């Protein structure tokens, strides 16, 4: 059963969303807020021919868990935000504020158990999930899907380096220069004042302040500080975050934290779907293949929430 809802009704940036409810809500049910990865995204987190958030909502609501998904603010208001104040866009305005509003909406719904509202963040949303919880989400538990404890700039450089190794020799020289230029821009951000960062473009329409503000709130600090239940999931064929640099680092950071549980899925990509090409340079082709989120992953998420 799907209901249309609005996140941030009455605010400057109201967003359309869908609340997927179990067929029976005789008792108050647990619920989960879905938080997107990087870039503008619709409520299904549509990527190519795939709709991972739709898959998650359908599967979890069938298991007795309500799921709230909504359009990302930059998908609907990106041009407006850039026009109004281009250098001021951060993960706070892009992602965090709306996720907190979504949590409050669920907790005020009579059909939802307010003590069993969870967050599931994918990719950048997973990185930010512990911060969203600490800044007002106040969730019962945190699910990090294909996230990373590293900075976003580190991840972007790693992805570019991976592409480099997959290019023909002729193009590698040009790409090396471009990557070195990007790295120099990221290195320079550390020394910038807030004002400078808000006026300096790094690439496209993204300003230095976006990276500086995020780096000033390390995701890993929030993860280490939380005592809430945390589930960290990743596919071993994910070419956007890596098993060695990200999943293994999460495990290392969380040694001695019994509240954190991990699972790595063989053969799955960044969307928790079967890997097709397995190379970052082929990501557009990879996501054009219509697939569904792995049934095993969906079952594990439902089981983890219902066991709490």
The secondary structure of residue 255, as a DSSP letter, is T
Give the contacts of 71 (CB within 8 A, at least 6 positions apart).
15, 16, 17, 41, 42, 43
Residue 196: how many CB atoms within 10 A of its CB? 15
Q: How far apart, in Å, are the Cα atoms of 83 and each of 71, 89, 217, 298?
A: 20, 11, 26, 39
DSSP H or E segment with residue 19: strand 15-20
Q: Among residues 43, 120, 77, which one has the least CA distance to residue 297?
A: 120
CA 81, CA 13: separation in Å to the nearest integer?
A: 10
Q: What is residue 170's predicted lDDT score, i.e. its pLDDT? A: 65
Which listed CATH number (1.20.120.1760, 1.10.3470.10, 3.40.50.1820, 3.30.910.10) goes with 2-151+218-306? 3.40.50.1820
Compute the mean pLDDT over every residue in the chain, rounded to the nearest whole number. Answer: 92
Reported as half-sphere exposure (CB side, CA atoms, 13 A), residue 31 has a value of 30
| Catalytic residue numbers, as ranges | 123, 238, 270
Q: Residue 238's closest CA among 279, 282, 291, 285?
A: 279
- The structural domains of the chain, with segments of one domain joined by +, span 2-151+218-306
- Measured distance CA(110)–CA(214) in Å, rounded: 35
Are the beta carbons of 88 and 198 closer than 8 angstroms?
A: yes
Cβ contact 22:302 at 8 Å? no
| pLDDT on residue 283 | 77
**pLDDT reported for residue 161:** 67
Q: How many whole angstroms separate alpha carbon 73 and alpha carbon 95?
A: 7
pLDDT at position 274: 96
Two tokens, residue 71? 């359009």
Q: Which residue has the tokens 């300003």?
A: 207
- Consecutive 10-residue runs of the chain (308 residues): their mean pLDDT? 95 97 86 96 97 98 97 95 89 97 97 97 97 98 96 81 65 70 84 93 89 93 97 94 94 96 97 88 86 98 96
**Which residue, 5, 216, 232, is CA-closest to 106?**
5
3-state secondary structure of 305: helix
For residue 122, list its beta bridge partners. 145
| Under 8 Å between Cβ of 140 and 232 | no
């Amino acid at each position: 059963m799907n209901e249309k809802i609005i996140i941030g009704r009455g605010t400057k940036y109201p967003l359309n969303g869908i609340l997927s409810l179990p067929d029976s809500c005789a008792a108050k049910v647990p619920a989960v807020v879905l938080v997107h990865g990087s870039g503008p995204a619709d409520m299904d987190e549509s990527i190519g021919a795939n709709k991972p958030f739709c898959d998650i909502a359908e599967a979890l609501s069938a298991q007795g868990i309500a799921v709230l998904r909504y359009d990302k603010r930059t998908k609907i208001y990106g041009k407006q935000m850039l026009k109004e104040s281009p250098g001021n866009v951060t993960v706070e305005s892009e992602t965090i504020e709306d996720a907190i509003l979504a949590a409050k909406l669920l907790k005020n719904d009579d059909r939802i158990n307010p003590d069993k509202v969870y967050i599931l963040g994918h990719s950048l949303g997973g990185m930010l999930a512990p911060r969203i919880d600490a800044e007002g989400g106040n969730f019962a538990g945190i699910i990090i899907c294909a996230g990373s404890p590293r900075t976003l700039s580190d991840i972007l450089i790693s992805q570019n380096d991976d592409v480099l190794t997959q290019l023909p020799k002729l193009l590698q020289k040009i790409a090396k220069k471009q990557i070195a230029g990007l790295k120099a821009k990221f290195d320079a951000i550390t020394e910038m004042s807030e004002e400078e960062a808000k006026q300096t473009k790094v690439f496209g329409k993204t300003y230095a302040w976006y990276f500086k503000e995020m780096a000033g709130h390390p995701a890993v600090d929030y993860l280490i500080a939380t005592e809430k239940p945390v589930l960290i999931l990743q596919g071993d064929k994910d070419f956007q975050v890596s098993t060695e640099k990200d999943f293994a680092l999460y495990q290392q950071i969380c040694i001695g934290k019994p509240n954190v549980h991990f699972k790595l899925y063989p053969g799955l990509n960044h969307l928790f779907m079967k890997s097709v090409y397995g190379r970052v340079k082929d990501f557009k082709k990879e996501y054009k293949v219509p697939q569904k989120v792995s049934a095993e992953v969906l079952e594990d998420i439902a089981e983890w929430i219902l066991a709490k």
